[in-house]
Structure 1
Amino acid sequence: MMMRTVLFVYFLSFGVFLPFFSPYLQAQGFNAQQVGALLAAVMFAKIFGPLLLGWWVDHSNRLMPALRSTAFLSLLLFAAVIGLTLISAPFVWWLVVLLLFGLVWQPILSQLDVLTLRIVADDSHAYSAIRAWGSIGFIAASVGLGWMINLLPNYKTTLISGFMLLFLFGLLMFLLAMPEPKTVPTPNLSSAHFWPGFWRHLRRPPMLGFLSMQFLVNVAHGVYYAFFSIYLASKGYSAGVIGLLWALGVVAEIVLFFVLPRFLGRFALSTLFLLAIGLMALRWVMIGTLIDSVFWLLLAQLLHAASFGLTHAVGITVMHQQFSGPMQARGQAIFSGLSYGGGAAVGLLLAGFLWAHVGATGAFLSMAFVSVLAGVMWFTCRRLMDDAPTFAAGEVLTDGV
């Protein structure tokens, strides 16, 4: 099916960006705070990008024009990133271009999930089988590119930028070849009727507590996303090993997906989420203090299934239950934008500051403290999570990031 290929190719670009783009920026001469700010610009755009794309799709009820346009602009803007590299452009130019790149590249994923669900008509088994190809793409790119950098270390930056551009081009080509799926009829609600109810639902204290908790969870991943690869390289780990370690985290997510349904009937979603927060805090302590031990490093990467995979699965489940019908795309966009975009952006900015001022260990221990703050917010939304139908969590395969 074409959808498998589209997801596979999209996540190939993620498999390049997440493990290797921060070392790419470091190779351009940027310091820790600048690297954090540039990565934050990409994620900051996620606050607005999903909202804009969700609005477009909701109003037109057509996915392919929106996806093709954003894929084309992503390709164009990453070509501009390569241009900045060639001319040794100043920091401000990089900041603007990466902000625009994030604005069009980041929201593609949420609408690819909508596209997949339309194609399979909400068949959870078919959705899961298709969605798994995204994780396979991430693993293939992170491991494959790491291996190639080991073989050709003098061409590291060329390999990173070249493969990123190639995968974005491939995504555009496959989207151009893909037909528009069957549209889903939605009630024709005017803004006067839609928005008051939407915002009233969103402003309920338990929902605000839930979004704040998810925000902090993503803040807590900031140092990991910004400097994990750089930290590993400074300790002598090769690019191939770095790619394998990132891939291990995604493999752990896939395993979580298969075993999660066994726990959903035994434990409340709130209980699973609290466990995930505790394991997340433990993960940052392990990476910050035991980076030289391969055993503890492998264990810490396996905990990615909890720190990202489980928290994301619960989040999608709750939003799926709380926002339905014509509110669904914009509800998921709010969740993606504020929690994942805003949280990741703040986390990356904080990561650059912490890395420069308290060092690697202090930065990761600070993220453990942020995880504890997320645990405090858990008390404000425990009932909201337990009201969500547990079957929905079993349908979610995580983003692979």
Structure 2
Amino acid sequence: MRSPRPKLPYWELSGFYFFYFTFVGVISPYWGLYLKSLSFSAFQIGVLMSLFAVMRMFAPNVWGHLADRYGKRVFIVQIAAFASLIAFAGVFLGTGFWLLFASMALLSFFWSASLPLVEATTLSHLGERTDRYGSIRLWGSVGFILAVVGVGTLLDYLPIHWLPGIVFATLLGVALLSRHIPEAEVMFHPDGHDSVWQVLRQPRVLALIAACFLMSAAHGPYYTFYSIYLESHGYSKSGIGWLWALGVICEIGVFLWAARLFARFHLETVLKASFALAVVRFLIIAWGVGEPLLILFAQTLHAATFGAYHASAIALIHRFFPGRLQARGQAIYNSLSFGAGGTLGSLYAGYSWDAWGPAVTYTLAAGCALLALLLLLWQLKPRLPPG
């Protein structure tokens, strides 16, 4: 007789997401501004910012393989969180390009371990209750909002060189919260998929991974240069923070509504709609930056281009990679989408920004999202009823 499922560690998981995305809410909008203050070129900024994505190409697969083999997902998250804290401390030793390169590379290597393993742990704790994922993940969005608004307001009054200390504090929170997450039981599903490669060879899985790769590439200019772009058009740092926050507030709405959304629509349908709206969003950013109302509207589309996209993508990955393949499935999703796709996005954004300007760069981003949408329309068909 199977023992009853343990109580869901809601606040332990929610607290980790809160601090993890508080860190993201400081790094994504403001770290590029900090690097710009050190007089780095757009290409150098693109290279440094791409390190977060570069390490996500291979590091999550290393961590995911170890976690699936030994069944110690949370233990690996704890080690990686404290190693990230130590690695980031290198930025306090100087401001040279290669010193920052080394520190950010090490930080990215360890930091990339956390999210896919925590995602897999959360989904394992939830079991059949995956509709509750949004109510846990939304605390990450809350942390992001508080970070972008609070830090943006602070930086209107404090010099930018305070930023590394703020980042260090958020990493400390991640490390401390990781100690309170309980391990989850991993159920083995004897469904014939005894190799991750058997899953990856399926055309629908390849299409999903390729589309996620392109979505992350589309977001490269957004995460690397969006704050710089807005500042160059006269937006204040606090205003920039509120624009980032607006996107995530709308994202929270999606997470709260996710259970009803997925009960009514197929995951595949939600995913395709997210890509279509990403095309619209990046074209607006490209050509409408001088119109605040258009930029406000574009930020509300973050509900689709991240919130609905991410919730449906990880649910499909969880479905396609069963049992003991789940941690590696989430790692592959993170490494090939946020990793390889994010790397391409940061690098082409850095080159295109200097060569052709911001409008062309964000138009290229819209093109990436359009190509991904066409790929999904071709290969990803619903096979299960909504829910």
Matches within 5 A, 1:154-165: 155-158=159-162, 160-165=163-168
1:3: how far off? 3.1
1:244: how far off? 0.9
Q: Who is 1:395 aligned against?
A: none
Determine the C-alpha separation between the residues in 1 that align with 2:266 and 2:288. 32
1:121: how far off? 5.2
Confirm whether residue 95 of structure 1 aligns to residue 101 of structure 2. yes
Determine the C-alpha separation between the residues in 2 that align with 1:106 and 1:149. 27
Matches within 5 A, 1:360-371: 360-371=358-369
Q: Note if contact 2:33-2:228 (Cα within 8 Å) is conserved in structure 1.
A: yes
Confirm whether residue 109 of structure 1 aligns to residue 106 of structure 2. no
Find 1:181's aligned residue among 156, 180, 183.
183
Confirm whether residue 66 of structure 1 aligns to residue 64 of structure 2. no
1:173: how far off? 2.3
Give 3-state SS (helix, strand or coil) of 2:156's partner. helix
TM-score, normalised relative to structure 1: 0.87
Determine the C-alpha separation between the residues in 1 that align with 2:263 and 2:213. 27
Give 3-state SS (helix, strand or coil) of 1:280's partner. helix
Deviations 1:274-302 (A, max 9, x none): 32222111111111111121111100000
Determine the C-alpha separation between the residues in 2 that align with 1:181 and 1:335. 21
Q: Note if contact 1:210-1:380 (Cα within 8 Å) is conserved in structure 2.
A: no
Q: Who is 2:290 aligned against?
A: 292
Determine the C-alpha separation between the residues in 2 that align with 1:273 and 1:14. 23
Q: Name the amino acid aligned to 2:170.
A: F
1:305: how far off? 1.2
| Compared CA separation, residues 185 and 308, structure 1 to 2 (3 A) | closer
Q: Who is 2:56 aligned against?
A: 46
Q: Name the amino acid aligned to 1:167.
A: T
Q: Who is 1:37 aligned against?
A: 47
| Compared CA separation, residues 194 and 252, structure 1 to 2 (3 A) | same
Matches within 5 A, 1:1-400: 1-85=11-95, 89=96, 91-120=97-126, 123-124=129-130, 127-152=133-158, 155-158=159-162, 160-176=163-179, 178=180, 180-184=182-186, 186=188, 197-383=195-381, 386-387=382-383, 390-391=386-387
Aligned residues: 377
| Compared CA separation, residues 120 and 310, structure 1 to 2 (3 A) | closer
Q: Name the amino acid aligned to 2:176.
A: M
Percent identity between matched residues is: 33
Q: Note if contact 2:229-2:358 (Cα within 8 Å) is conserved in structure 1.
A: yes
Give 3-state SS (helix, strand or coil) of 1:236's partner. coil
Determine the C-alpha separation between the residues in 1 that align with 2:319 and 2:241. 36
Determine the C-alpha separation between the residues in 1 that align with 2:154 and 2:60. 33
Q: Note if contact 1:63-1:180 (Cα within 8 Å) is conserved in structure 2.
A: no
Determine the C-alpha separation between the residues in 1 that align with 2:137 and 2:18. 9
Q: Name the amino acid aligned to 1:387.
A: R
| Compared CA separation, residues 180 and 207, structure 1 to 2 (3 A) | closer
Q: Note if contact 2:135-2:256 (Cα within 8 Å) is conserved in structure 1.
A: no
Deviations 1:164-215 (A, max 9, x none): 1011112222333x26435435489xxxx976x3212212223212211111
1:329: how far off? 0.9
| Compared CA separation, residues 387 and 115, structure 1 to 2 (3 A) | same
| Compared CA separation, residues 165 and 203, structure 1 to 2 (3 A) | same
1:304: how far off? 0.9
Q: Note if contact 1:12-1:138 (Cα within 8 Å) is conserved in structure 2.
A: yes
- Where do 5+ consecutive residues of structure 2 fail to align? 1-10
Give 3-state SS (helix, strand or coil) of 2:40's partner. coil
Q: Note if contact 2:286-2:363 (Cα within 8 Å) is conserved in structure 1.
A: yes
1:315: how far off? 1.2
1:148: how far off? 0.7
Give 3-state SS (helix, strand or coil) of 1:151's partner. coil
Determine the C-alpha separation between the residues in 1 that align with 2:74 and 2:219. 32
Is 161-170 or 369-378 further displaced after alignment?
Answer: 369-378
RMSD: 2.3
Q: Name the amino acid aligned to 1:149.
A: L
Determine the C-alpha separation between the residues in 1 that align with 2:320 and 2:385. 10
